[in-house]
Each structure stands twice: as C-alpha cells, then as structure tokens.
A and B are shown apart, each in its own frame.
Chain A
Amino acid sequence: MNRTAEGTPAKRRTAMTRVMPNTVDPRRRALRQGLWMTAPALVGLWGITPAPADESVVNSKHDLSAQGPGPTRAVDEGEICVFCHTPHNASPQTPLWNRVNPRTHYRIYQSSTTDARINQPSGPSKMCLSCHDGSIALGNVLSRPATHPIVMTSRTIPPGTADLTNDLSDDHPIGFRYDRALSNADHQVRPPEVVTDRLPLGAHGEMHCTTCHDPHNNELGDFLRMPDRMSAICVACHDMDGWRTSSHALSGKPTTGRIVDPDERLKYPTVSENGCINCHQVHSADHRERLLRFNREEDNCLNCHGGQVAAFNIAAEIGKRSGHDPRRRTGVHDPNELTFAMRRHAECVDCHNPHAVRHDPFGAIRGTLGQTAKGPNLNVPGVTITGATIPDALLLHDICLKCHGDGIGNPPSRIVRQVDQNSVRRDFQPSNPSFHPVAAPRRNNDVVSLQAPLRVGSVISCIDCHSSDNARSAGGIGPNGPHGSIHEPLLVRNYSTDDFTSESVQAYALCYGCHRRDSIVGDQSFPLHRRHVVDERTPCSACHDAHGVARSSGSGAAHGSLINFDLSIVSPANAPTGRRLEYEDTGSFAGNCTLTCHGVTHMAFPYRRGSPSAAQR
C-alpha cells in the first residue's frame, strides 16, 4: 500500500521530466532558429558577411582537426574532441579535461569604477586559457606523451584577437564573484538572480570565460551564448543608467565614415546594433580601464562625432579658438575624481554620459535653453550652487560648476575687477546683491531691456552665453553647448571688452542677444547708457560684471545691477577721505558714482532717470 502511494508521484515526476523538454525545447529552438534565420538575411542586406551559423563544434573554429576549417589545425589528427577532452585518464577537472592548466600569473583587470573583487582566473577559465594565453602548445594533450604532442600548423595559438596573452587587464574581467553583494554595491549591475540562465556562472557564482562563451556552439559567432546585436549579451548583466532610451542604444544611423578608425569594420552596420561595441572592446581593448576602443578618451567619441556618423561635427568645434578641447589631456579624467582635488581637464564624459545621452528635440529652437540638464547632459555628476557634489546633475550649471566652481586652478579672471574672488559658484549665489539669473530668478524690475520671451523673473543657463558660435539655439546650425567658439571666452556671440570700442550690434552682440539694443542706447534704464557706451565708447564690461557680484565683497547697494568696475578702465577717484571707487544704488534707475574714468572724475555723481539735468550732463 505504502509502495504504491510512493510509486505513483515518482512515476508521474519522471513522466513529466521526460515529456516536458521534448515538447518545450524544440518549440523554443524553432523560434530561436526562426529569428536567426532572418538575421543573416537582414545582415546580408547591409552587405556584411553573416557569422557562420553552426550549432556544433564541428567545422567551427574550435574544430582543430586536420579537416578543420581554420588555418590553425592539426597536420594529421582527425579527431575533434581530443584537443580538449579524453575519455580516459583525464585530468581531474570536469569535463574529462585533456590538458594541463597554465601556470601563468596573469595581469588582471583593474578599474576605479568596479566594485568586483577580481582574482586570478580559475576553473573553466584556466581551461580556456590553456590554449588562449599562448603559453601551452595546442597539441600538448594529456592523452599523448609530452614528447609526442599532436602536430599542429601553429605550435601555439597564433597572435591575434584570440590570443589573450598573460595580460588580462585589457579583457573583460573574469574570476570575480557575481553575487548580490556586487549588485548591491553597483546598481548598474543587475542582481545575479535576474540574469538569464543562458549565461551560467561558476560553482561559486563567479564569472568565467564560459559565462559568455560556449566553446561548442558558434551559431552566433565568437562562440557567444547570446547574440551581441543591440548588445543583448552585455545588457543581460549591465544595466547602465539611461541606456535603454539613449541615442547610442536607439540610433539607426550607419557607422560608416568614422574618423579615428575608418578602416576597421564594426560587426554591425548601425549604431544601435553595435551598441556597446561602438565604444567598448571586450577583449584586448586599447584603453584597459573600462575597456575602451581607443586609449585617448575623446577618440572614442570623436570617432563618430567627427561629422559623418553623428549629426554634429564636434571635432570641428573643439578646435576653435576658445573651447573645451578634450585633446589637451589624456589619462587625467577618472569617473571617481574629486571635484575639489582633480587636475584640470575637460573630457567629453565630464559633461556627457554616453550611456544616457539623448537627442534634445528643443535644442533647435532659437532662444533660451532653460535651466535643467536635458538630453545630452543626462546622468552626469555635478556640483550644485551650494557646493554639494551630486551624482546626477539636475541643472545644467551643476555640470559647469564641477570645474568652474571652487575648483583648484581656476584660471585668473580675464578682467580684473573691483570685486574679484575667482569662483563662478560664488558669482551666481542667489544671495548676492546682483547676479545673472542662472541659479535663481532675479526680481529686478529695473531690467526693462529684456527681449521676449525673457522677462523679469526668467532664468537662463550658462550655455545661453557660453556656447558654440554657430549653436542652433543662437540661430546657427551647429551643436549647442560650450564645445568651442571663435569668441572668447567660449561665448556664443561677440562680446568686446576693450576700452574705446565703437558701439555696434556686433560689438556687444552677446548682450544684445537678450537686452534690446534700442532700450540700452535709448537710455530706458540707466539714463546715461548712450553717453557712456556710444559717445565715450566704454564697453559694457567696464561697469558690469557679467556673472554676478559675490555678497561677501560688498553691500547690496554698492553692487546692484551687476556693477563691478573693470579696474583697467575705471580707477578710484581722489576724494578728501582718500581714493574711492564707489557706486551707490539709491532707488529705481537712480544712483551715484565715485570714480575716475576716461580722465573724468565723478565724485558721488548722482543720476536719476527722467531727471533732465542728469541727461544733459
């Protein structure tokens, strides 16, 4: 009685295990084959040879027998399995291993951004490396006496991509445990339990060569276990912030015409299909850390952003007279750098996150770009106006302030002013007596010159002034943003700061971009603008500080309306109480100045809009 009760479920269980794979497996296989039958056809349309679609080790590159397809093969050995496996007297390693493990000590992958603890390779990886590090002869198998190895056309693995050498620091790391601790430490790595079973980990959850590669199945090319089209195999583990919606993942643009490696053929014809391998190289990467294709960081970007693949020719922009040229430094940038201690540099990835960049559809609209970090600047670390470091900049100026805030080695100001503290972050503090409305809106109703849609209370961003001279936002056809400009310092339009500049639309084009010229020279605000700017040919910058005046350096009345005199033009006046250089705000469109300029001395010289005397004098 007991026996029947026990026997029935057991029988049912075996029946299920027997039936299920037979019914499910072929269907799934057929589906997969169906998908991959179409893939070569599509690829063929692009004129690229499809990878050999073979599900077996026979006739694959791992078929090293004398009848094998590759140039590296045995001279007369006809068996295929024997190069790795033997049925008897195998090494104790599964599966019936016919080779000795290399005793090589490997240089292993290191990166400032990895949380994995990477060890020397072990287990199955060592077994792969018994051929692929080039240290052991291919024909040196346990089933043959060491004195009579299998004779091969090439004694060891020939130099090339398959020869990993003893330097594994330029290859994707192996030999680390891919566990919950890792995914907890790095949220851009998926938890191991959600990673597909098609990428098996080792006995202790460690990553091996065999996690990505199936040495017996070259159906997908490179013996991969999952397709690398659209980087499916990479994103199975790597969950980069913003990747799924980024242009690099979605762009269907052809990758022809790259400027750094025009001759190298990427595996797939379009940007989205290549995915990660547009920039990364899983094995033998030129730039070891983070496995980038090119050692010079910017080359990985300029390769496509040189005019042919991507829409804008950034390479042309950064070469202009004033620009953030990433080519000036190599090997300085590090994603983990401390903003207050780093060496001064500008790499593309300081402002852009290539995993998260998106096209900004509003970038072509002429006018202000607003304050928030959008499309091209998503998921970039920054420093806020309060000086806090944040991993994901919300506002555009957060990104600029990383370097132009309180950083060591800010270049000296171009114009030596009355108040000069050389920190852009402090220039724009909302608590300052006056500032351009970048970090916060400014409620100064005296500003009557604003062009629509700007009005009192609007906010602007750094790149409204600092941008390429042909930026689309300023009416050009080039990229927005501070890549490079013919106008110093990286200004979107001309801005003359020399004394005795003849006033023209062109001379102060930057200012007139927002402040109507007719209002300024029409004396609608400061009643003596025309007198100073047009008649006396004094530049705007002689009196106004374009960024703002820091609170610590003056009272509110002394530095209202961005008044911060250029000491090379304006000098103190000799007053009875000593040399004084002062401005005092005494109300709406009213104030007085004490200074010497162009040989004229004002001593508490008052002005008020609407006062005829002021206008006459």
Chain B
Amino acid sequence: MVRTRWIAPLVAAPVALACGLAFGGLTGSKHDFRKKEWSGGEGCAACHTPQSPTPPRTPPKWDPNADLSRTFGASLARSKAAGIGTTLCLRCHDGTIARETASAATDRFPNLDNPARIDSGHRGSDHPVGIAYPNVDRGYRPASSVVASGTVTLPGGKVECTSCHDPHDMSGEKHMLVRGNARSALCLTCHRK
C-alpha cells in the first residue's frame, strides 16, 4: 500500500508525457476516441483505465474482509511487461466488440490431432500471441536482431499484439502496424523464410 502511494505520482508524470507524444500518432486513427461524445474529449481512458485516487469506504457486502486498498487491472507503468499489452488489446479485439479481431489463441491447440484444428473450412486461426519468441529456431531470426530493428518489440521476450501493432499508430501504417509491410518486411523481421 505504501509502495503504491509512492509510485503513483512518480509514474503519473512520464505517463502524461507519453500520452501527449502518443496522441501525435493517434490523431485521426481508429483509436482516436477523443471525438467520440462518450470520451469527453479524453481519449486515453478507453484503454488506460483511470486510476481511482482513494479507496472506497465500505467493503463489498458479502466480502467484509476485503482489502479496500486493492486495485484491479494492469497499470500503465507495467504495460511493457509480457502479456499486459496483449490482454489489454483482447478486451476489445476478441471478435465481438472491435471487428478487426484476434480470437486470442495462445498455445491453444498443441497438436494436429485436435478435432478442432483439422476441420478446414472454418476461419479463425490467428498468429499466436503471448508466446515466448523462438530464439533458437532456425526459422526465426535471433531476438537480438529483431529488437535491434527498432520497430518490432518483444515485451519480456514474448510475442504480443504490440510486437506488430502500435495501438498509438505512430507509424501511420495500414492496420496500425509498427512498420510498413511492403515486401512483407514486417513478417520477415522475425521469420527467416
């Protein structure tokens, strides 16, 4: 509890600065929610849950022993960690709310015998996210060179939505990609094919 209090103001300033920078790219993109009436001109809250400064006074009725200082969700400060970016995206991009969607399969079907897998004609497979980058596989470039490209990121050594997509759309590329995919350059950043 004490730690959270100390960290919150420390984090707030860089976050605000980052938001300002980020919005340079977001302007006009599909993630620019500022013009939406519901956002009240504040575009960040759709993804970056606002922090409640004070805990509630009364605990939930059925959970009288609840720790009232508890907070939920992932804070902005941790969004560079593995998994945070992906789960953040999938809240909307799960095939229902936002249309350009991933159906969120992380290591879902381990073998080809799975009846769900071999049933062709159905659509719905997506590039895996939340998986460790296969650094030792010959079919992939070393993680160091991927990261050195400066565009594709591997948060925590994992492949996440944010590895290829920039939710703030700083590059202005199609599909909010972190870089253009002419000549499949984005794919070939990782895949040695």
Interface residues of A (CB under 8 A from B): 17-18, 21-22, 25, 56-58, 65, 67, 78-82, 85, 87-94, 96-97, 100-101, 142, 203, 216-217
**Contact B184 A80, beta carbon cutoff 8 Å:** yes
**Contacts A18-B136, A21-B138, A56-B193; is A88 near B127 (CB within 8 Å)?**
yes
B113-126 to A contact mask, C-beta < 8 Å, 1/0: 10011111111111
Q: A18-B136, A87-B126, A216-B193 are in contact. Are A203 and B182 (CB under 8 A)?
A: no
Instruction: Contact check, B120 vs A91: say whether CB atoms are below 8 A apart.
Output: yes
Say whether A90 contacts B126, CB under 8 Å: yes
Determine the distance from Cα of A96 to Cα of B192 in the docked complex, in whole angstroms: 16
Residues of B within 8 A of A89 (CB): 101, 103, 123-126
**13 pairs across A/B with beta carbons < 8 Å?**
A21-B138, A22-B136, A78-B181, A78-B183, A88-B102, A89-B101, A89-B124, A89-B126, A90-B123, A90-B125, A92-B120, A93-B125, A97-B125
Would B112 and A94 count as touching, CB distance under 8 A? yes
A78-B182 contact, Cβ under 8 Å, with A18-B136, A25-B138: yes
**Chain B residues whose CB sits within 8 angstroms of the CB of A58 once the complex forms:** 183-184, 188
Q: Which residues of A contact B126 (CB under 8 A)?
A: 87-90, 96
Tell whether, in the assembled complex, residue A91 and residue B182 are in contact, meaning their CB atoms are under 8 Å apart.
no
Q: B173 to nearest A CB, angstroms? A: 12
Total A-B contacts with CB atoms under 8 angstroms apart: 87
Main secondary structure of the interface of B (DSSP, over half): loop
Point out the residues of chain A lying under 8 angstroms from B193, CB to CB. 56-57, 81, 216-217
Is the pair B187, A81 in contact by a Cβ cutoff of 8 Å? yes
A85, A92, A216 — most chain B CB neighbours (10 Å): A92
> Smallest CB-CB separation from B177: which chain A residue?
A87
CB pair B125–A91 under 8 Å, yes or no, is yes
| A17 x B181 contact (CB < 8 A) | no
Contact count band on B: 20 to 34
Does B71 reach chain A (CB closer than 8 Å)?
no
Cβ of B121: which chain A residues have Cβ within 8 Å of it? 91, 100
Contact A21 B184 (CB under 8 A): no
Q: Which residues of the other chain, A, contact B122 by a CB distance below 8 angstroms?
A: 91-92
Q: Roughly how many angstroms separate A85 CA and B125 CA in the complex, as a whole number?
A: 11
Beta-carbon contacts of B136-154 to A below 8 Å, as 1s and 0s?
Answer: 1010000000000000000
Q: Could you say which residues of chain B place their CB within 8 Å of the CB of A142?
A: 123
CA distance A198 to B122 in the complex (A): 32
**Closest CB of chain A to B25's CB: distance in Å?**
21
Partner among B118, B124, B127, B138 whose Cβ is within 8 Å of the Cβ of A87? B127
B127 CB contacts on chain A under 8 angstroms: 87-88, 96
> Is residue B76 within 8 Å, beta carbon to beta carbon, of the partner chain?
no
Interface centre among B122, B164, B188 (most CB of A within 10 A): B188
Interface residues of B in 165-193 (CB under 8 A from A): 181-184, 187-188, 191-193
Which residues of B60-86 are within 8 A (CB) of A?
none
Find chain A residues with CB under 8 A from B118 CB: 92-93
Q: Are A87 and B164 in contact (CB under 8 A)?
A: yes
Q: A80-B184, A88-B126 are in contact. List 20 more A-B contacts (CB 8 A).
A: A17-B136, A21-B138, A22-B136, A25-B138, A58-B184, A65-B184, A78-B183, A79-B183, A79-B184, A80-B183, A81-B187, A81-B193, A87-B127, A88-B100, A88-B101, A89-B123, A91-B120, A92-B116, A93-B117, A216-B193
* Cβ-defined contact, B135 with A82, below 8 A: no
Q: B164 to A79, Cβ gap below 8 A?
A: no
Residue of B nearest to A88 (CB): B126
Q: Are B117 and A67 in contact (CB under 8 A)?
A: no
Q: Which residues of the other chain, A, contact B119 by a CB distance below 8 angstroms?
A: 92
Residues in chain A near residue B125, CB distance under 8 A: 89-94, 96-97
Residues in B with CB closer than 8 Å to A92 are 116-120, 122-125
Asked whether A21 lies within 8 Å of B101 as measured between CB atoms, the reply is no
B114 to chain A, nearest CB (A): 9
Complex CA–CA separation, A498 to B101 (angstroms):
96
Q: Of B123, B135, B191, which one neighbours A18 at CB under 8 angstroms?
A: B135
Q: Which of B103, B136, B188 contacts A21 (CB 8 A)?
A: B136
Bound complex: CA A89 to CA B112 (Å): 18
Could you tell me the distance in whole angstroms from the C-beta of A420 to the nearest C-beta in chain B? 69
Residues of A contacting B116 with CB < 8 Å? 92
Task: Name the B residues within 8 Å of A18 (CB-CB).
Answer: 135-136
Question: Which 3 A-B pairs have CB atoms at the shortest separation, nearest pair first?
Answer: A80-B184, A87-B127, A216-B193
Q: How far is the CB of B137 from chain A (nearest CB, A)?
A: 8
Q: Do B120 and A93 touch across chains, with their CB atoms under 8 A apart? A: yes
List residues of chain B with CB within 8 A of the CB of A101.
120
Nearest residue (CB) in B for A83 is B184
Which residue of A has the minimal Cβ distance to B123? Answer: A89
In the complex, residue of chain A having the shortest beta-carbon distance to the beta carbon of B136: A21
Residue of B nearest to A68 (CB): B183
A87 partner residues in chain B, CB cutoff 8 A: 126-127, 164
Query: What separation, in Å, do the CA atoms of A56 and B184 have in the docked complex?
Result: 12
From residue B20, how far is it (CB to closest CB) to chain A in Å? 30
B123 touches A81 (CB 8 A): no
Chain B residues whose CB sits within 8 angstroms of the CB of A100 once the complex forms: 120-121
The CA-CA distance from A57 to B191 in the complex, in Å, is: 11
